[in-house]
Amino acid sequence: MIFWAVTAFVLFLVIVALYDITQKKHTILRNFPIVGHFRYWLETIGPELRQYIVASNDEERPFSRDQRSWVYASAKHQNNYFGFGTDNDLELTPSYVVIKHSAFPVLSPPPGDPAYDHKHVVPCAKVLGARRGRAKAFRPHSVLNISAMSYGSLSAAAIEALNRGSHLAGCLQNTGEGGVSDHHLQGGDLVWQIGTAYFGCREPDGGFSMDRLAETVERCPSIRAIEVKLSQGAKPGHGGVLPKAKITPEIARIRGIRTDRDCVSPAGHTAFGSADGLLDFVEAIAERTGLPVGIKSAVGEQRFWVELCDLMEDGARGVDFITIDGGEGGTGAAPLVFADHVSLPFKQGFARVYRVLAERGVHDRVVLIGSGKLGLPETAMVAFALGCDMVNLAREAMLSIGCIQAQRCHTNHCPTGVATQNRWLMRGLDPHLKGVRAANYIVHLRKEVLELCHACGVSHPALVTPEHIDIIDDHFGHRTLSEVFGYPPGYGVPSGDDRQRIVELMAKDHTAAD
């Protein structure tokens, strides 16, 4: 009797294991058959365990369980509502964000109405590259886009899933500094990031090659813009590092590097060394390719931004967009001190740069992009209120394709196959299914941001102003974003003509290509 019971149990385990490694819905189960079920069982009783033993729903970092749950539910197209009221302490939490709704919200068509937009399209209010007269200027179809994550840092399957998701959602995907791979070419439009090591446009000695850049742009028509990365929030002022354990022959070929040593990018660019040289570099790339060209940077010392804006003030030269990254960090692994103590957080950094741009009248000439833990509806709304035209999303997009915040990105042992080059772990991530989930997340985020705009009485995120947001302190006080960040009256507020143009833009039928 015992023999048959043991045999049946073993047979049952074999069947479960076979099912786990062949199904594609759950990466954890494909990579860790049988034992992976314990994670889901523990997750099911997680709220009860945390209530009495561990942490509350809002204590975990960098993303709380509530935040991750919202992303997961949105990505799976499940119910992402929460019941029984908020469990946040609204009155005594420092820097708590409150979005002030209007007594007369904008009415939008309900689901089922022929006018209801199932993709919740929210195009950028500005045309990227138009102010500089770029030959290939275009209006981005989405104000929410996938941020810079390199092939190498992320797996081939993850990059492909994000590109497929960007295509389905109609948004842009930033390549990160690791170059353009075949996994980026699954239909989604790209912003090609050029970092300090010039991967993909690199001379044998590591210098910049304009000819190689032009060849890549010609070969990949999905590249819609080029971003020159000065620094990033994960490790500002410190070159990127890809451990040799994560360098495959394919990655080495794409980047033009060796496989027997860590890949360490320089801390700064060799093609230029000043704000003046940067603008010459940007204009040369734009003239050669016809593409809009911008920069990405975390915010440290202020002098660079003053010099850059002074040089752009006469309109002879300029960048087409500026991406401000927050010191909150991101997908890139970094020394602890750089992650914790170098670079300003997004809100403070962006506000400083925006004030410099606005004082010189340059802010209307460039598309301003925010990056740094902005992939949740309320954080995105704060970014738009501060003056962002678009928002880029990185770690939240990773969560949408299966990341569980294991924080093992730098070890090559990411259990979900997102941030690893381990073939066994990668095989658990199905890029077709996860691409749909990435698209679901982007669409749901656009939907909730648009609903928040409508609640505030405006039709587009560009019309959200600093006066729409209050920041509550832990002494029962509150101030508007303008007061908190020192914005004079009118900063972050579109002009009357711009407001009318944006309203007309949202009234258009976006089912056809813009």
The total of other beta-carbon atoms located within 10 Å of residue 53's CB is: 7
Q: Which superfamily does 144-507 belong to?
A: Aldolase class I (3.20.20.70)
Q: SS3 for 476? A: coil
Report whether 300 contacts 234 (CB < 8 A): no
Q: Is 109 a residue whose pLDDT tops 90?
A: no
Query: Residue 441 — pLDDT band, cuts 50, 70, 90?
Result: very high
Beta-ladder partners of 371: 325, 392
Q: At residue 105, what are phi and psi to the nearest 5 degrees?
A: -70, 160
For residues 393 and 461, what is the distance between their CA atoms, to the nearest angstrom?
Answer: 16
* Percentage above 90 pLDDT, the chain: 57
Q: What is the pLDDT of residue 235?
A: 64
**Amino acid symbol at 17:** A
Where does the pLDDT of residue 233 fall: very low under 50, low under 70, confident under 90, or very high at 90 and above? low
Q: Domain locations in the chain?
A: 1-44, 144-507
Backbone region of residue 325 per phi and psi (left: phi > 0; alpha: psi in -120 to 50; beta: other values): beta
In the predicted structure, residue 499 carries a pLDDT above the cut 80: no
- Pair of tokens at residue 266: 């320089």
Residue 7 has pLDDT above 80, yes or no: yes
Among residues 61, 176, 66, 228, the alpha carbon closest in space to that of 419 is found at 176
Is residue 513 scored above 50 in pLDDT?
Answer: no
For 73, how many CA atoms within 13 A lie in the half-sphere containing its CB?
Answer: 12
Mean pLDDT of 314-322: 95
- Evaluate if residue 474 carries a pLDDT over 90: no
Least confident of 73-87, 116-130, 354-368, 486-500: 486-500
Q: How far apart are CA 322 and CA 304, in angstroms?
A: 13
pLDDT of residue 197: 92
In 3D space, the residue among 425, 406, 419, 412 whose CA is nearest the CA of residue 30 turns out to be 425
Highest mean pLDDT among 198-207, 229-238, 488-497: 198-207
Question: How does residue 163 score in pLDDT terms, banded at 50, 70 and 90?
Answer: very high
What mean pLDDT, rounded, does the chain reach? 88
Residue range 171-182: mean pLDDT, rounded: 95
Please determine, for residue 271, whether its predicted confidence score (pLDDT) is greater than 90. yes
| Confidence band, pLDDT 50/70/90 cuts, at residue 51 | very low
Beta carbons within 10 angstroms of residue 101's beta carbon: 13
**β-pair type (469-472, 96-99):** antiparallel
Rounded distance between C-alpha atoms, residue 132 and residue 322, angstroms: 14
Window from 251-265, 387-401, 472-486, 489-503 with minimum mean pLDDT: 489-503
What is the rounded distance in angstroms from the CA atom of residue 85 to the CA atom of residue 82? 7
Two structure tokens written together for 241:
């590092």
**Residue 514: CA atoms inside 13 Å, Cβ hemisphere, count?**
22
**What's the longest Cα–Cα distance across the chain?**
90
At residue 179, the 3 state secondary structure works out as coil
User: What does the pLDDT read at residue 24?
Assistant: 87
Positive or negative, the CA dihedral 480, 145, 193, 498 is negative
Rounded Cα distance between 170 and 443, Å, is 9
Q: Is residue 462 very low, low, confident or very high in pLDDT (cuts 50, 70, 90)?
A: very high
Q: Given this model, what pLDDT does residue 512 score?
A: 44
State the pLDDT confidence band at 446, using cuts at 50, 70 and 90.
very high
Task: Report yes or no: 292 and 191 within 8 Å, Cβ to Cβ.
Answer: no
pLDDT of 330 higher than 70: no
State the pTM of this model: 0.88
Listed residue (507, 488, 505, 508) closest to 497, CA to CA: 505
Q: Which residue has the higher pLDDT, 33 or 188?
A: 188
Cα dist. 155→67, 140, 178, 181, 276 in Å?
24, 26, 12, 11, 37
Residue 501's pLDDT band, with cuts at 50, 70 and 90, is confident
Element (DSSP H or E) covering residue 218 = helix 210-219
pLDDT at 56: 64
Q: Cα–Cα distance between 423 and 195 in angstroms, integer? A: 27
The answer on pLDDT for 134 being more than 50 is: yes
Over pLDDT 70: what percentage of the chain? 92
pLDDT at 48: 52
C-alpha to C-alpha distance for 479 and 484, rounded to whole angstroms:
6
38 contacts 415 by C-beta, under 8 angstroms? no
**Is the per-residue pLDDT at 182 higher than 90?**
yes
Distance between CA atoms of residues 146 and 371, nearest Å: 10
